[in-house]
Structure 1
Amino acid sequence: MPSPAAYERGREIARKIIEKHVEEQGNYPETVAVMLWGLDAIKTRGESIGILLELVGAEPLKEGTGRIVRYELKPLADVGHPRIDVLGNLSGIFRDSFVNIIELLDDLFGRAADADEPESENFIRKHALILQGQGVQNYSARLFSNPAGDFGSLVNDRVVDGSWESGDELGKTWESRNVFSYGRKDKGEARPEVLTQLLQGCDRIIQEIDSVEYGLTDIQEYYANTGGLKKAAEKQRGKKVNTSFVESFSQDTTPRNLEDLLRLEYRTKLLNPKWANAMVNQGSGGAYEISQRMTALIGWGGTADFTDGWVYDQAADTYALDREMAQKLREANPEAFRNIVGRMLEANGRGFWLPDADKLQQLRELYELTDEKIEGVTV
């Protein structure tokens, strides 16, 4: 990986990311975080790797059999932009399945960090020299993941349990779980100084969506990992970090903003009457799917500050305050219904949503009624 087609698509996506940043900020991004997920890489044959290679200004070098044996740095004159530094965030599946690719990428970053090129044209070298001057070992480490043999950022665990006070705590959780470096020498060594510098300089985050079935609002992994990285970078930088997604199953390679995609997904799924009725008619499983998406809504509020009140308003009207819908959900899966209403109350408690007093009181009564039924309380 990447395949020739994946490499070209990745290059196109990376160039659009760079152009978008220059258009918005007036300068080149110095560091871009690229999410490297295993299933994405398998389905696209390495499109995310193609994005990374274009940012760095490199290309695959093949032997006679067609096997890629090296990622070669292209001459700066042929790149068309400075070498952009990269924070490569590896999913557990990518980390464990593609050791050879990780080692090739690590070798690439090492050569880029030591290249005899101006710092203004090679941000990898620029940042590596700073770390080297501080006596940091393995200053070219750029591939980070969870502890060896372990999986997940634990951000979603904290959101599900409600055991967090601020988004900064979620960012800190992500950082503590992703401080482990992988490459030719590192096999899970903690490199906090390197990760901190990468987060402090992170200008943008880019990720691919590989499925038409599951998007940002459907599963916990997106807010737990991409959202967690975003919050960690914003905490280190002290300002917003733009996050973009590309649909790998579409011909369109235009990166789309996180907030725009969230709004689109909530309109087309959670708040779509056809989707809602289809879920309710599925019984217990459908109620669970609705419940999961309400938890994810809280997760995006904590990690990406997504607090559009209209989403909560319409969700409350659709699933809790519609008597027929609420009755079906409660009968099909009382635990899921309690979570749906509980997440609405949690959103109010965290300041994500400010409903009118009457609506809030109705939700509280619904929650108490459902909780008493589950616990078997009788008056």
Structure 2
Amino acid sequence: YSVDPRAIPSRLAYGVGTRLAAALLERHLDEEGRYPESVGLVVWGTAAMRTAGDDVGQALALLGVRPRWSEENGRVVGVEAIPLEELGRPRIDVALRVSGFFRDAFPHLLELLDDAVGLVASLDEAGEDNYVRANGTDDPRLFGPKPGAYGSGILALLESRDWRGDDDLAAVYLAWGGYAYGRGRMGVAAPEAMRRRFGAIEVAVKNQDNREHDIFDSDDYLQDHGGMVATVRALTGRQPKAWFGDSADPGHPKVRDLAEEAARVVRSRVVNPKWIAAMRGHGYKGAFELSATVDYLFGYDATAHVVQDWMYERVTSAYVGDAEVRKFFERSNPWALRSIAERLLEAAQRGLWAEPSPAALDALRSALLEAEGWEEASP
């Protein structure tokens, strides 16, 4: 009851989505001197409920399409193409990875987005003005997990440690998410279509509409967005642009490189002494949160390659090298310290942490042995 699904995207949300699309295209134009031909976008149901459809609005705006709203009740009754003269740029192709919750809560939006793609594909326009037509009109553009399933499978693979590189990550991401959605196809297996569409992605984007959460406080970000980046890399042999759309201030949305966002979150929260002290006040659960943060940081680096060596060094210093924090782990949750040490050592072993300092490695090995001793001594 928090939102009228038929009123998504609202006029305001479409406006925010239009600004997000403009910021994305402006950044790409500045960096590459041209527009991207295909953008990959992660779409979640929770965000759609909070914003009334910012992400949906962005996808429509990239396509050069706008909703038609009923004047009586504000509900969306269809879509219409924005004339090229008014649009002032090519229509950008999109490939959407929708969450299981979005699929369940907003099936009509899957149809609306599919209608928008179909409309753009049907326009009598040159390929240089219409990248959907240039890239081929037969493939679906909306993909998600199998009906009744949720997630992307990436987390389980990372936790198993039974993976070697991008090909393994992509195989799982494609297997879990290779189901096409849209009008008349609600979960049709389409792994080859997904491979083609994701292989064309130049920019992989995930938006965040609030400052209550960040990319290292949940595994969902690394699974859906990081998994998309790893899949594109496996399919093409190149690192796509991985960007983060920030619409916490909806009037002035920003688009940052994911590596920039990772650095911002590490500095502002992950190694912030005030945040660490606050977690220490929560005992066992606080220690678990510290451990989970390291897992999410590692996972995003494994998938999207966005964590720099200095971040690993700072985390090691703050979580393992600080004597007071070590005492906190001993008292509250030695298993959390062991998990942190194991994960950071794994980052070094896999080359994600390319040049760890000898002091950091020594501290991690010492912490691992110490934590194991605490566990054995515990009743």
Q: Which structure 2 segments of 5+ residues have no match?
A: 1-7
Report matched runs for 1:137-152 at 5 Å. 139-152=138-151
How do 1:129-278 residues align onto structure 2 when only pairs under 5 Å count? Answer: 129=137, 139-250=138-249, 251-278=251-278
Q: Give the CA deviation at 1:370.
A: 1.6
For the residue of structure 2 that corresponds to 1:341, the secondary structure is helix
Tell me the SS of whatever aligns to 1:2. coil
Task: Name the structure 2 match of 1:134.
Answer: none
SS at match of 2:270: coil
CA contact (8 A) 1:113 1:140 kept: no
2:98 corresponds to which residue? Answer: 90
Mapped to 1, the partners of 2:369 and 2:55 lie a distance apart of 47
Give, in angstroms, the shift of residue 71 of structure 1.
1.4
Q: Is the 8 A contact 2:98 2:144 kept in 1?
A: yes
Aligned equivalents of 1:363 and 1:22: distance in 2?
A: 43
1:216-241 deviation digits (Å, cap 9, x = unpaired): 11111111110110111122222121
* Residue 16 of structure 1, aligned match among 20, 23, 29: 23
Between the aligned partners of 1:322 and 1:127, the Cα distance in structure 2 is 53
8 Å Cα contact 1:88/1:142 also seen in 2? yes
Q: Which whole-Å CA distance do the structure 1 matches of 2:157 and 2:116 have between them?
A: 36
The verdict on how the C-alpha distance between 1:356 and 1:258 changes in structure 2, with shifts beyond 3 A counting, is closer
SS of the aligned residue for 1:217 comes to coil
Check conservation: 1:82, 1:122, Cα contact below 8 A: yes
| Amino acid of the structure 2 residue aligned with 1:185 | G
Which digits, 9 at most, give the CA deviation of each residue in 1:104-137, with x for residues without a partner?
11122122222222111111112225xxxxxxxx
Structure 1 position 246, deviation (Å): 2.2
2:364 maps to 1:356: no
Given that residues 170 and 302 in structure 1 are in contact (C-alpha distance below 8 angstroms), is that contact kept between their aligned partners in structure 2? Answer: no
Match of 2:202, SS state, is strand
Q: What residue is the counterpart of 2:5 in the other structure?
A: none
Distance in 2 separating the partners of 1:167 and 1:293: 22
Other-structure match for 1:54: 61
Matched residue type, 2:130:
N
Closer/same/farther in 2, CA of residues 252 and 62 from structure 1, 3 Å limit: closer
Number of paired residues? Answer: 369
TM-score (norm 1): 0.92
Seen in structure 2, the aligned counterparts of structure 1 residues 283 and 372 have a Cα distance that, compared at 3 Å, is same
Take 1:356 and 1:27, find their aligned partners in 2: how far apart are those partners? 41
| Structure 1, gaps ≥5 residues long | 130-138
Overall identity of the aligned pairs, in %: 32
* 1:276-330, Cα deviation, whole Å (9 max, x unpaired): 1111122111111110011112112211113412112122222212222112112
Q: Is the 8 A contact 2:63 2:93 kept in 1?
A: yes
For 1:20 and 1:85, locate their aligned partners in 2 and report how far apart those are by CA, in whole Å.
17
Q: Are 2:13 and 2:51, in contact at CA under 8 Å, matched by a contact in 1?
A: yes
| Aligned: 1:118 with 2:117 | no
Secondary structure class of the residue paired with 2:136: helix
More deviation, 155-164/50-59: 155-164
The Cα shift of 1:358 comes to 4.4
Give me the whole-angstrom Cα distance separating, in 2, the residues matched to 1:268 and 1:359: 22
What amino acid is aligned across from residue 35 of structure 1 in structure 2? V
Matched, 1:345 2:352: no
Per-residue CA distance 1:43-98 (angstroms, 9 max, x = gap): 11111111111111111112342321111122222221111111011011111111
Map of 1:69 onto structure 2: 77
| 2:3 equivalent in structure 1 | none
Q: What is residue 317 of structure 2 aligned with on the other side? A: 317
Q: 1:357 to 1:289 in 2, by over 3 A?
A: same
What amino acid is the match of 1:268?
Answer: S
Amino acid at match of 2:333: N
Cα drift, residue 377 of structure 1: 9.2
Structure-2 residue corresponding to 1:133? none
Question: Per the alignment, in what secondary structure is the counterpart of residue 269 of structure 1?
Answer: helix
Structure 1 counterpart of 2:45: 38
Change (3 A) 1:8 1:377: closer
1:186-236 alpha-carbon deviations (Å, 9 max, x no partner): 111122232122112111122211332220111111111101101111222
Q: CA–CA distance in 2 between the matches of 1:55 and 1:280? A: 45
1:284 and 1:91 map into 2 onto residues whose CA distance is 31
Given the superposition, is the C-alpha separation of residues 358 and 55 from structure 1 closer, same or farther in structure 2, using an over 3 Å criterion? closer
Moved over 4 A (4+): 375-378
1:99 to 101, 107, 116: 107
**Normalising to structure 2: TM-score of the pair?**
0.92
- Superposed CA RMSD in Å reads 1.8
Please give the alpha-carbon distance, in whole angstroms, between the structure 1 residues aligned to 2:172 and 2:147. Answer: 17
- Measured in 2, the distance between the counterparts of 1:13 and 1:339 equals 38
Q: Equivalents in 1 of 2:323, 2:69: separation in Å?
A: 63
